[in-house]
Structure 1
Amino acid sequence: MNKAKHIAIIMDGNGRWAELQGKKRVKGHEAGAKVVKEITTYCSNDEDIERLTLYAFSTENWKRPRLEVEFLMKLLEKYLKDELLSYLQNNVKFEAIGDIRAFSKSLQKTIQMVEEKTAHCDGLVQSLALNYGSQDEILRAVNSLKKHDENITVEMLNNALDCKQDVDLLIRTGGDKRLSNFLLWQSAYAELFFTDTLWPDFTCKELEKIIHKFTKVERRFGGLK
């Protein structure tokens, strides 16, 4: 039976969820942040799940309206500060992947503070992809290896990436069926599950059902068995 050791989720549909209810898009992001907490807590209580990587802010999200981006930055900083105690209580280690240098100094300090204060936790690793794009990640990794004289190996490139763990199960909410520049290298043999459920409506029960389906999949990794 397969174990979903590394689950990655593209959390799509916050804005549409709000618009369908006649609310401002930012209300969808607030609702989505609550779901992040619920799903993280659920995963922290499942001993088979070692890592949860969530696509929180992509390198392309800067194209959104300025006020929405500013709100997302404030929401992220508030979320991290509010969740620190919960991380510690649930033995969750927080890590960020992506190029956070584009963020404000205040947000960078908050990210680093939460990483440092949860560094000793040895339960679930919750990784937020922040100013993250897989193509950017791979380019940064390749450029960091250019100083080596020998040919770059798969192992060398993998170790130079922000996220060094292969994805077992990748889920996208919101109905679209694409990876949107998320963990392309790490998802080479991930099992992909797409749901029409908008992220603020995504529940632990639906995640549990997806994981159950995943355990029954025959994973061949290019072989016959």
Structure 2
Amino acid sequence: MKSKKLFFTLFVAVFMAAALLFLFVGNVANVYASQTQETINWNMKDVWQNKTSRDVPAFATYDAMIECAPRAGFTALGFYDYEYPELLTGDVYEGTNVVNNSYYAFYDEYKELMELMKQSSTGVTVRNFKKGLTEYVERRGRSVTFTSVMSKGTADLTQCIFAFAAQKPVVMFLDGFRYVMHHEEVANRDTITYYTEEDVKHAVLVYGHILFTYDYTTRREYYLVNSGYRGNVKMPIDSFLDVDDAYIIDIT
């Protein structure tokens, strides 16, 4: 595991990362590398959540090893299809509820996006992710902007929180992470099962932030993400989270 300090000031978390545009995203060597379990006993628990007001499609990929970047972009397209239905054929939403989580229903568009991102056996570069998504959106008469939440090699949770409140998701390119496979809440006890991946390249679409406070002081912070192979999950903001690059995606 890469050594990394995590600082919390109010709801601000800053984590060290290297923003390298030429790295390929998508070489997850072992999806379920390691499993750990944590039990938290508590007398009082408070949950604070900030996320987009509508659900996010839980698009997964046929090949989780290399297709995570186009899947993250495709999930963003599904999210914005609520406002701009020309982005995808068929219905993604009924009201604010997702009614179609299958990317197979939009396979022609998904294949087009993969080709525009220059998907290869080693994945997709961050630069090609942005270029491919931009071209796809512009072909449909829309535009997309990418606003970095990185500053001097760090990613700022505060900027992400503002983005979620403004109904804008964030794409993150990761070198390491873990996510919650199962969270059981019984009486005054939380049992959390994590899966951990280290030294990998992965991309996720982030759409919210959740904070658990136990007995006033013990805290657990998570991003709400579409993982690409487990659907929508919680991803801890901790020393395992290694962010190379991250951008707010805004389609208009």
Q: TM-score range by the shorter chain?
A: under 0.3
With normalisation by structure 2, the TM-score equals 0.26
Q: Which protein has the bigger strand share?
A: 2
Q: Which protein has the bigger helix share?
A: 1
